[in-house]
Amino acid sequence: MAATLMHLRRLVRSRLGVPLDDDFMQDNVLDDHINLALQVIDAEAHWPWLEGSETAVLQPAMPYLVPAPGWRATKSVFFGDRELTLVAPGDIMRLWDYTADAPEVWCPVIGSISVRPKPAVSFLVNHFFYRTEDWLYDDGAMPSLPAAYTGAVVAKAAELLSARESSGGDATRHGAEYDKWIARMRRDLRRSTGPVKVRVRPGGWV
């Protein structure tokens, strides 16, 4: 289970060497920098724990969907079991008024996800996307970030706070620790999403 906001505050204070009962660094200041740290981590990669999906019924007159709140980037759009192809805005504009039995391509256009060609009847699409981390307000609120990577949040929050409150040396030290965490997280992501390799043992039957 991921650490709560209250727990993250305690960890950041501990890393900075600030006593838990010291009111120099108030909770609201810590909360802001913990949330900013989570936003920075969001921007580092398309993390699997921030994947989302939605289903939408599109109309011939409005063949587009407005992404759900928190949408950051689209991963894929499906019509039935067919994955639509991402194209550039100029390419989708050439199909803007074209009608066909099924859509083939998609493109983000002015805050929406448009698909073309547009079918003559209403149709259903599945939208898979990456969202942003929710802002944490309550003491018991938890980020989507797995508990194993809590150290990345603590290191980045400490770096941001050190840059605000102290000399550059502390910020550099915390930043170096954060970089190590991100490198570790990216390695884990590659291991979990890479292609499957079949290894054949000499003399084996596979």
Note the pLDDT of residue 72. 94
pLDDT at residue number 160: 93
Residues linked to residue 62 through DSSP beta bridges, in sequence order:
59
pLDDT by position in tens, the chain (length 206)? 779 999 999 999 999 988 877 767 789 999 999 999 999 999 999 999 999 999 999 999 999 999 999 999 999 999 999 999 999 999 999 999 999 999 999 999 988 999 999 999 999 999 999 999 999 999 999 999 999 999 999 999 999 998 876 656 788 999 999 999 999 999 999 887 655 444 444 443 43
Question: What pLDDT score does 193 carry?
Answer: 65
pTM for this model (two decimals)? 0.83
Q: What's the confidence (pLDDT) of residue 166?
A: 61
pLDDT on residue 88: 95
Two structure tokens written together for 147: 């508990």
Residues for the chain: how many in total? 206
Reading the block at residue 189, the tokens are: 């992501």
**Cα separation of the two ends of the chain:** 40
Distance CA 34, CA 40 (A): 10
Point out which residues pair with 79 in neighbouring strands: 82
Tokens 């149709």 -> residue = 123
Q: What phi-psi label fits residue 121: left (phi over 0), alpha (psi between -120 and 50 degrees) or beta?
A: beta
